[in-house]
Amino acid sequence: MKPIQTQACCPEASAAPAQTETMMKYVLAGIPLLAAWWLVYSNLEAFSGWFAYDLLKLSHESHFGGAVAFFVYDTPKVLLLLTLVVFGVGLIRSFFTPDRTRKLLAGRRESAGNVLAALLGIVTPFCTCSAVPLFIGFVTAGVPLGVTFSFLISAPMVNEIAVVLLYGLFGWRVAAIYLGTGLLIAMLAGWVIGKFRLEHHLEDWVLEIKAGENAYTEANMTPPQRIRYGLDAVRDIVGRVWLYVVLGIAVGAAIHGYVPEGFMASIMGREAWWAIPVSVLIGIPMYSNAAGIIPIVHALLEKGAALGTVLAFMMSVIALSLPEAVILRKVLKPTLIAVFFGVVGFGIILVGYIFNLVI
């Protein structure tokens, strides 16, 4: 990180000493906070056991005791992880405005462009309601159509909330699989869409917009501003998501001993080959963010549904949705929307099968 921004963009150049002072305050407050975080995090398991079995005097063998210990351990664990990761990602995002991403991607060749776009989808701050204006901004600036789609697929699907929740609840393997395949789908689906050469299936008025007219660039942020950006992200995201996390873990804990093991196995198990396309079809009209779908994912996996099937369901809920199709209809002609849903849906189904075969 550069120590001090030297751009003479604003009359705040004289405020540099004050800036260093704020930065010092953040660092001084940050170190004990991080230490406390680590202390709490590393003692959670011991605490949850003590809480359930010593304080509440529940039996080690009882379903209820196990459920309480699980809940008391997992809830703070996932929330702590989420807070730290959202803050970290917030810091990184303060370096990647959509405008900078657009410049990085403009005029990029396909393939390399698809890879870069999918990766940038993770770190570029992006609100789903901006999807259409962003789409226009990218296409009119000369970002190839397929590369734009790689970005649009990766941005909602591969996000830090999904990865942290999967890591906290199901371990690093599931999280890594999700991250890897999500990126792969975004890259390949975008590449395939690019190969179809469907540029003429954009609505005509989109192509008439001149790129970069009145284009506005944000001034570079100062280091304390970046930290504040990260803190705002924590307040915004964790504030919105914590309820789903608690609910998800409670569902997992509640059904732990009470719904028969393997209840879902016959319907969504590995042997039911038709389960994957059906899950994806059911997932498309549903719309939820990564956090909202986690309680369902948790319940399904717990009861014997196959990992590939569940991940395919989760991806189709997050990445494809009917409301999104309605919004995109303003800029895309129906053929292009159909291709978009078809290619992404097909990719998700493929990933589901590969996982059920491999794992």
| 331 touches other proteins (CB under 8 A) | yes
Contact call for residue 134 and other proteins (CB under 8 A): yes
Cα angle 236, 237, 243 (rounded to 5 degrees) comes to 110
Q: Which is nearer to other proteins, 20 or 97 (CB)?
A: 97
> Does 97 interact with other proteins (rule: CB under 8 A)?
yes
Question: Does residue 11 belong to the site contacting other proteins (CB under 8 A)?
Answer: no
The site string for other proteins over 55-94 (x = CB under 8 A, - otherwise) reads ----------------------------------------
Neighbours of 91 (CB within 10 A): 17
Stretch that binds other proteins, among 76-84, 150-158, 206-214, 305-313 (CB under 8 A): 206-214
- Binding status of residue 120 toward other proteins by CB under 8 A: no
Cβ atoms of residues 98 and 59 within 8 Å: no
- Indicate whether 132 belongs to the interface with other proteins (CB under 8 A): yes
Q: Is 104 in the site for other proteins (CB under 8 A)?
A: no
Nearest one of 50, 37, 58, 68 to 249, comparing CA atoms: 68
- Does 202 bind other proteins (CB under 8 A)? Our answer is no
Task: State which residue, 66 or 137, has the beta carbon closest to other proteins.
Answer: 137
With binding defined as CB under 8 A, does residue 98 bind other proteins? yes
Q: Between 113 and 277, whose beta carbon lies closer to other proteins?
A: 113
Q: Is 138 in the site for other proteins (CB under 8 A)?
A: yes
Whether residue 245 contacts residue 287, with contact meaning beta carbons closer than 8 Å, is answered with no
Of the candidates 131, 179, 172, which has an alpha carbon nearest to the alpha carbon of residue 158? 179
Question: Residue from 43, 59, 130, 335 that binds other proteins (CB under 8 A)?
Answer: 130
Is 338 an interacting residue with respect to other proteins (CB under 8 A)? no
Determine which residue in the list 29, 31, 209, 338 makes contact with other proteins, applying CB under 8 A. 209
Q: Measured between alpha carbons, how far is 22 from 256 in angstroms, rounded to an integer?
A: 48
* Least gap, CB of 131 to other proteins (angstroms): 9
**Is the four-CA dihedral 145, 149, 155, 158 of positive or negative sign?**
negative
Residues 219-258 that bind other proteins (CB under 8 A): none
The residues near 201 (Cβ < 8 Å, ≥ 6 apart) are 332, 333, 335, 336
In sequence order, the 6+-apart residues with CB closer than 8 A to the CB of 270 are 306, 308, 309, 356
Q: What value does the CA radius of gyration of the chain take, rounded to a whole number of Å?
A: 23
In whole angstroms, what is the distance from residue 314 CA to residue 90 CA? 24
Decide if residue 1 touches other proteins (CB under 8 A): no
Using the rule CB under 8 A, which residue among 65, 90, 137, 277 binds other proteins? 137
Name the 3-class secondary structure at 144. coil
| Packing angle, helices 307-319 and 145-157, rounded to 10 | 110
Binding site for other proteins (CB under 8 A): 97-99, 102, 125-130, 132-134, 136-138, 140, 205-206, 209, 212-216, 218, 327, 330-331
